[in-house]
Amino acid sequence: MKALFIGGIKSGKSFLAEKHSLKNATSKPYYLATTEFIDPEMHERIKAHKMQRKENFTTIEEPLKLHYVVSQLDALVLVECVSIWINNMLYHEKNFDEMKKEIKDILALDKDIVFVLNDVGSGIIPQNKLARQFVDISGKLSQLLARECDEVFHVIAGIGTKIK
């Protein structure tokens, strides 16, 4: 089973993805945290996520090598979040083809995986090149994930609607 939870920032997608993961896991699931860049505000976000998930998950932090980590794990994996991972990959000068290959390789694994992704496609075209690149890559990878996942949930205001 592979599932995608997509929605705006603070839409409630992480909370619903965690509930979905716990409901579908046959053993203690993994929480693959992708955040790499820590400033005081991001530190507070991470702290809130940790409090939300309590001890229900085994947390692994990996900002880049998602396929490698997921391939080593023996239980359901919640990838939180693909958007931050895209940011990390761009920061480390990885291109779209490298990101697409990584996501395809993860999707090919015979494992239960839940992905969380920010929906950035409903806004305007950003002014700067890097932001446009991020939006384009995020949009293309969200289409790939949605096409290949068994379930897709769109989350708005804490309400998840199954769209696939």
Residue 49 appears among annotated catalytic residues: yes
- Distance, CA of 162 to CA of 164 (rounded, Å): 6
Task: Report d(CA 61, CA 93) in Å as an integer.
Answer: 20
Closest CA to 20 of 7, 34, 1: 1
Sheet of strand 30-33, all strands in order from the earlier edge strand to the far edge? 58-61, 30-33, 77-80, 113-118, 2-7, 151-156, 159-162
Question: Is the distance from CB of 87 to CB of 40 less than 8 angstroms?
Answer: no
Of 49, 67, 92, 154, which is the active-site residue?
49
Active site members: 49
